[in-house]
């Protein structure tokens, strides 16, 4: 997996698209308050909420496209 170049660094061909996908995913995950501020002490609970949020994001995207 290629390393994502930092903002302002010389862009390697194709990494800009990958950077956009990563930043967009983080923005979508931070819509969920429990993930933006980690309240859970147990790693398993945080992982479960991360999985749930990812599932909801995928479901919303599929619902929007009509698939």
pLDDT for the residue 16: 63
The mean pLDDT of 16-41, rounded to a whole number, is 77
Mean pLDDT (the chain, rounded): 78
**What is the rounded CA–CA span in Å between residue 28 and residue 55?**
12
Q: Is the pTM of this model over 0.75?
A: no
How many helical (H) and strand (E) elements, i.e. helices and strands, does the chain have?
3, 0
Would you give the distance in Å from CA 49 to the centre of its chain? 13
pLDDT for the residue 67: 58
Q: What is the pLDDT of residues 10-28, one digit of tens each?
A: 666 666 667 777 888 888 8
């Amino acid at each position: 997996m290629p390393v994502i170049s930092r903002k302002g660094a010389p862009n390697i061909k194709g990494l800009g698209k990958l950077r956009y996908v990563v930043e967009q995913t983080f923005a979508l995950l931070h819509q969920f308050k429990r993930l933006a501020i980690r309240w859970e002490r147990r790693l398993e609970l945080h992982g479960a909420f991360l999985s749930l949020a990812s599932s909801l994001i995928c479901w919303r995207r599929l619902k929007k496209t009509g698939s």
